[in-house]
Structure 1
Amino acid sequence: MAEGDSIRRLAARLTSSLAGRDVLAGQFRRGGEIPPSFAGDRLVTVAAVGKHLLMRFGSERTVHSHLRMQGSWRIHRAGWRPGPAADRVGAWFDFGPAGVLAAHAMPVLRVLPTAREHEAVGHLGPDILTDRWPAAAPAVATDPARRIREALLDQRNVCGIGNLWAVEGLFIAGVWPHTPAGRVDVARVLDVIARMMRLGLRNGSQSTTGDLRRGRTHWVYGRYRRPCLRCGTPVAFVAAGSDPYDRETWWCPHCQPQP
């Protein structure tokens, strides 16, 4: 899933495979009337800020993307070109023998000057996976009446936490996800989530149980009506609401009792 840890792994993989290489040919299909050309440019590095990916080029331009639920960056074989049916390819960059990097079904994809990256990510709160963490953890409880699950997903408070980590982190912390943020030990919950995400980043896995067997990787996430892996109580669920941060939520009524 495209959460902060998976975007950071993607940035590291692309930097390792393609950084320092020249673009031999390419096409950016979202540049208005005159799409920008990257032929002859050089990819310098790829960075992750929360769930946002920043590809920085030698021309001091940055390709900013956000994968959301459906987007992906794929490295295809050398010489690959998108065919007539590949109209969901928003951009592709040919790096010669290293392959062709293409953006597939990317919901957010644009070019901006590297000096103006703040226009894309300046609104974000501190990144939970940076070395500077914890920076401003209390920001999650700025609105004490807001439900903790929504406050955790608001990237303006803390960036990088996705629905999976919020749901599983609240389970491990024993917090009912509908609890008002002002009644929660926010620093403790964020510490749990940060440690889980860092462990996942090192292991290359988003398993929160430590069990990689199918159906046992998560305590409650995606387990509606199935038994909680800790106590056996059927897992509860509420569908997403109209608020963009009111996402699908799973919890165990016994392990995460309503206060």
Structure 2
Amino acid sequence: MPEGDTVWLTARKLHDALAGRILTRSDLRVPRFATADLTGREVLDVTPRGKHLLTRIEGGLTLHSHLRMDGSWQVYAAGERWRGGPSHQIRAILGNDESTAVGYRLPVLELLRTRDEEQVVGHLGPDLLGPDWDPAIAARNLLADPTRPLGEALLDQRNLAGIGNVYKSELAFMARVTPWLPVGELPAGVPDRLVATAHRLLETNKDRFDRRTTPTARGTAQRRTEQRLFVYGREGHPCLRCGTPIRRAGQDDRVTYWCPDCQSGPADRTTTPS
């Protein structure tokens, strides 16, 4: 599932292509809104909210979309061939004289009144890349249920909006605790550092698709500069800190990665060393 930084970058690309321009093409390929015609209306802005995209359109309308696991928005210049997938996967087309935005495999696509946006995003916690970001509230939300495993608490968008499975694994590693550690057992100061690190990482990565959490400074060990992530997707590879093979397991219907040596706390006992 795309994370907050990817959604932010997608929103910026859509905004640059659509905002301030009149729609000359509009096609929403979902039954509920198939007859909606947005042509002739100006796109006012495209705003990310956590993992949600809000495309605001003249006349008090908002097109709300969510990418979930494999949805995407692609932007093409006029006359350019579309390459995002077969036509039957297209769920939305918004075009003007210069650009066309095509939404592929969008599991969530709905047209609503702009005044009703809170109905779809009002449940979200502070947005790591939004103007409402508040680290104190995010840390407090994270600790609201002391018995909840850290990985689950980080993924709950009601606590703080924008963290996905990649950042969940990376943040737990950087905090030196396992994703199964109850948040109430986090050492003093760690929750505040966690949310601060999350904000820093998403801010750093929001302008690029090649996400990195590992250091790049001169003098860093060569093996680190060759890896963009500490643990995610690195099952069986040596930990960049200690060399212990990274493990992988399921957690709350998601996959997680961790180092059994560097990270303290409980672990999934059904896994075996890689």
Normalised to the residue count of structure 2, the TM-score between the two structures is: 0.85
Instruction: Give unmatched runs, 5+ long, in structure 1.
Output: none
**What's 2:144 paired with?**
142
Q: C-alpha separation between the residues in 1 aligned to 2:262 and 2:101?
A: 45
Partner residue, 2:197: 192
Equivalent position of 1:66 in the other structure: 66
Superposed displacement of residue 133, structure 1: 2.4
Query: Aligned equivalents of 2:67 and 2:82: distance in 1?
Result: 19
CA distance in 2, matches of 1:238, 1:33: 40
Measured at CA, do residues 215 and 90 of structure 1 come closer, stay the same or move farther in structure 2, by a change above 3 Å? farther
Q: CA deviation at 1:29?
A: 1.5
Instruction: Return the alpha-carbon distance in structure 1 between the equivalents of residues 119 and 191 of structure 2.
Output: 29
Q: Deviations over 1:60-102 (max 9, x none)?
A: 110101101211111123256989x511111102211x22111
C-alpha contact (below 8 Å) 2:65/2:108 kept by paired residues: yes
Match of 1:221 in 2: 232
Equivalent-residue separation in structure 2 for 1:203 and 1:67 (angstroms): 17
Bigger Cα displacement from structure 2, 42-51 vs 11-20: 11-20
**How many angstroms apart in 2 are the aligned matches of 1:66 and 1:27?**
17
Task: Please report how far the alpha carbon of residue 179 of structure 1 lies from its aligned counterpart in structure 2 after TM superposition.
Answer: 0.5
8 A Cα contact 2:181 2:265, kept in partner? yes
What's the CA shift string for 1:200-236, capped at 9, x where partnerless? 1256541111459996111111111111112110111
- In structure 2, the gaps of 5 or more residues are 217-222, 267-274
Q: What corresponds to 1:251 in structure 2?
A: 258
Contact conserved, 1:79 with 1:100, CA < 8 A, in 2? no
TM-score after normalising by structure 1: 0.90
In structure 2, do the counterparts of structure 1 residues 123 and 33 end up closer, same or farther at CA, with 3 Å as the change threshold?
closer
Amino acid at match of 2:261: H
Q: How has the CA–CA distance of structure 1 residues 64 and 215 changed in structure 2, closer, same or farther, with 3 Å as cutoff? A: farther
1:208 pairs with one of 213, 229, 242: 213
CA deviation after TM superposition for structure 1 residue 258, in Å: 2.3
1:160-186 deviations in whole A, cap 9, x for unaligned? 111111111111111121100111132
Q: Which residue of 2 aligns with 1:236?
A: 247
Paired residue secondary structure (2:206): helix
For 2:148, the aligned partner's letter is: R
Give the CA RMSD over aligned residues: 2.4
1:24·1:40 contact (CA, 8 Å) conserved in 2?
A: yes
After superposition, the C-alpha distances for 1:28-63 in whole angstroms (9 at most, x for unaligned) are: 122527521111111110000000000000121101
Distance 1:199 1:34 in 2: 39
Contact kept in structure 2, 1:2 and 1:51, CA below 8 Å? yes
